[in-house]
Structure 1
């Protein structure tokens, strides 16, 4: 008796004929896709709903059959979506999508039509539909804001150092490990971050950028982690999602991480270890899935020795390192870049002529502001040139772009000379940086100090 009970209680394999009957029953519109989004089964109940018959649909990508399908999102996130409205065959349908897993790994997804009559609950149905359309609109807008703007092809240059950096970026994109991009201001760190994200498996997710140097330390936590309603005076009603939450399923790019305050470094380390964030004012953390890319123009190893950057955070983010060369080390790229910027920034339909002497001047200059400074010089030359032809006279006097004044005025006091030098240093830093915050950072002073010195010297 006991053996009989044990036998009947043992797990039984579902007969194949029952599985076939379930999958092909005419009452349930079922679609099965694999982890690449390829349709492996479509039941006969879907006949006439999609542009292809069930037989024609098998083997096609789900987006070829249903362009607005979100089954690829279900595969990526591993989360079910039950009771969603969707327009199919010019009719509003209620659908469900859920992941299919084996041994803890998502191996595909299933989608099916829930043949409900929305007319029985018209008011609720219309409200849900309206809210879902608004949500999709906001998701589309968010995707536009955080879309990838650059690819590796957008990064120009044929110097060995640039080619090596692009090759490393391509290798880094294939992994999901943290990437640290190091280089002077204006060398293209953000372009490389975009390119790595665009080549990665997370390219359909957002690339969320945070400039750690541009956000005051007291606001950085709320900006990165978000906050709940009533967390502090002035907090938004219903709270606000932080940058890490917005990067869920995608990539977060922490630019100028070398300027992050030490207390925040500790909290970032915890997020990287636990893969969860806790909003300001919240009682419980929230799990997130993201890829981290960091960038800095500072020597993190030196900051670490000085006690200004945490050693444990440094080793956590420094898995894959890209060191971008300054423009002065890639002299063969200077003139081709000038030609490229001339074509894309020119106001005329035809590319401007570049007269003799321009190339030599550009290649002799040291370009402390790197590619960003070269772009600014190109734009200025195109504005002042005549007849769509750039001559040496249209360039700023790069040969005289020195920090200290060349001529010491007669009877000038030491204080007057120091004021002259300080003014020239600040003016040059503002030209080389993309912002006042960037200029202050490059000079190693606080923004308030920079503003005071600009006012002192009459710099607009």
Structure 2
């Protein structure tokens, strides 16, 4: 045999099951009274008895008896002087070898030799006994080798199953939906973390209980009988003790089949409230960046949106003016979404929010080494990032004079140079600028360039403040109420007449943004299903303490009156055909069925419009 070395770093199948393999070696030694060694495919001693027990962990050379046997993969019998045997011809230790005879049996797993079991004789008497019972010992070792590989195979399978079970559990517990598995009798066998959270109950409390303890209206026999998947079924959750209704869920029920037999069900469910919130967010996002999605049915807003729709398809530069909070960026995004550039980027930059010394690099980018701290490889500016789309320059009135000159050149030549650069960068962008300042007054005060003003205001739009379009206020009130009902999980139905009068009389210097904040505040602290004056912010209430006569005017229009007026205006605009009514419904953010129902409920005659 070759000299011994340290163990291999690769963990073999036998080494992973070393305790069991050692038991096998000891059983063999006890039965046939020969020293036993079990070696793996790395020729490492994994188990042994007698002298070999002290060698566990050492590795024999590849040309040793065991190494050769692992190569050929068949039973080997050493029954001659090692110095004369073929299997020992390349072994450096054959002259000093004490082995007189040996039987080696391979351990085979999935058609691969993973090691061998060997018994050895070290004197003439042992050799005589070993060879006399050669067939019996060989057969015994072959069967124990097969038993060893079978046990290892089972262990490996169990290990793989455990890993798969852990992976499955991790996946199930990462799903946002609640998951409950039940057997054929309707008894719960598994729930995930989301189900625990949604039902406020632990796995220990759930396992083994019948599904009807949790969902009394759930018909197990019916679902099992038909064996079809049920999608978007409504189920109600009741506690076992009080039977009080806790929550409504939307569920999907999927049968578990073994062959053709249904052996159980998987119920996945989500809170209807959460789904409504999600739907509300999706609807708002879909409507948010379109001109029709911007709420407002006043004459001023209707005319503004119509004009914007006409110019959206062009590439002309637009200047939007209006007070803070009127939604200038919202209109800019809507124009972009209505244009042929809608698949390109929309890049917004607030010229007043970035320090003057950084604004130029933000707008036009810089080359590597342009200044201390410049990023390696340089950096593109907002104009480059907006190529093929729209750049929105908010608070353009705050742009420094020296940058106004460079911006004017970009408008004229549609190219610029990065800071520290020498090559021109050509861009294809549409510019929409916005400001809450009076640029014409700034021109007189030499704070804004007149030539840049005329370049920017090719198509000027003025967004009226909320106090100039009070017709839209009640509509916006209810829109924000619906929004924060969804977000905060409230069920507030409306506002008192006093609150509506106050809202109409309040000046709203912060415009739509301030109005939204006021509604969000009220919904947050409201403890009733109607918002009264006690839920308004102190700023709003304090205003009327100092101006008590402002709320004595006539009552504001009701929501029904506003809806009727908005629907009439939409029908006049789009017409009375089926397609026209669908467009009218879309412009008001309503589904077709809701639009038709409101026409009927409000007693509108579409023929007369």
TM-score by length of 1: 0.54
Report if the CA contact (8 A) 1:148-1:194 is conserved.
no
Give the C-alpha shift of residue 405 in structure 1. Answer: 12
Q: Which residue of 2 aligns with 1:401?
A: 543
For the pair 1:390 / 2:531, whether they are aligned, the reply is: yes
For the pair 1:212 / 2:212, whether they are aligned, the reply is: no
Q: Which residue of 1 aligns with 2:451?
A: 312
Report if the CA contact (8 A) 1:148-1:198 is conserved.
no
| C-alpha distance in structure 2 between counterparts of 1:316 and 1:395, whole Å | 44
Report if the CA contact (8 A) 2:490-2:523 is conserved.
no
RMSD: 2.2
Give the C-alpha shift of residue 358 in structure 1. Answer: 1.3
| C-alpha distance in structure 2 between counterparts of 1:168 and 1:162, whole Å | 10
Alignment of structure 1 residues 136-151 onto 2, 5 Å = 150-151=289-290
Aligned to 2:503, which of 349, 359, 362? 362
Structure 1 range deviating more: 230-239 or 175-184: 230-239
Q: Which residue of 2 aligns with 1:379?
A: 520
Report if the CA contact (8 A) 2:356-2:400 is conserved.
yes
| C-alpha distance in structure 1 between counterparts of 2:288 and 2:464, whole Å | 22
| C-alpha distance in structure 1 between counterparts of 2:544 and 2:350, whole Å | 30
Q: What SS does the aligned partner of 1:154 have? A: coil
Alignment of structure 1 residues 448-459 onto 2, 5 Å = none
| C-alpha distance in structure 2 between counterparts of 1:264 and 1:270, whole Å | 10
Q: What SS does the aligned partner of 2:292 have? A: helix
Report if the CA contact (8 A) 2:295-2:476 is conserved.
yes
CA-to-partner distance for each residue in 1:373-429, whole Å, 9 max, x for gaps?
Answer: 0001001101111034311111124253399999xxxxxxxxxxxxxxxxxxxxxxx
Give the C-alpha shift of residue 355 in structure 1. Answer: 2.7
Shift in alpha-carbon separation, 1:404–1:303, aligned structure 2, 3 A: farther
Q: What SS does the aligned partner of 1:357 have? A: helix
Q: Which residue of 2 aligns with 1:327?
A: 466
Q: What SS does the aligned partner of 1:153 have? A: coil
Shift in alpha-carbon separation, 1:357–1:159, aligned structure 2, 3 A: same
Structure 1 range deviating more: 246-255 or 342-351: 342-351
Aligned residues: 260
For the pair 1:245 / 2:398, whether they are aligned, the reply is: no
| C-alpha distance in structure 2 between counterparts of 1:372 and 1:251, whole Å | 24
Give the C-alpha shift of residue 276 in structure 1. Answer: 0.7
Task: Give unmatched runs, 5+ long, in structure 1.
Answer: 1-146, 407-460
For the pair 1:195 / 2:334, whether they are aligned, the reply is: yes
Alignment of structure 1 residues 289-304 onto 2, 5 Å = 289-304=428-443
| C-alpha distance in structure 2 between counterparts of 1:241 and 1:161, whole Å | 40
Report if the CA contact (8 A) 1:206-1:249 is conserved.
yes
1 or 2 for the larger relative contact order (CA 8 Å, sep ≥6)? 1
Shift in alpha-carbon separation, 1:258–1:403, aligned structure 2, 3 A: farther
Report if the CA contact (8 A) 1:148-1:195 is conserved.
no
Alignment of structure 1 residues 105-116 onto 2, 5 Å = none
Structure 1 range deviating more: 397-406 or 378-387: 397-406
Q: Which residue of 1 aligns with 2:311?
A: 172
| C-alpha distance in structure 2 between counterparts of 1:226 and 1:161, whole Å | 40
Task: Give unmatched runs, 5+ long, in structure 2.
Answer: 1-285, 549-609
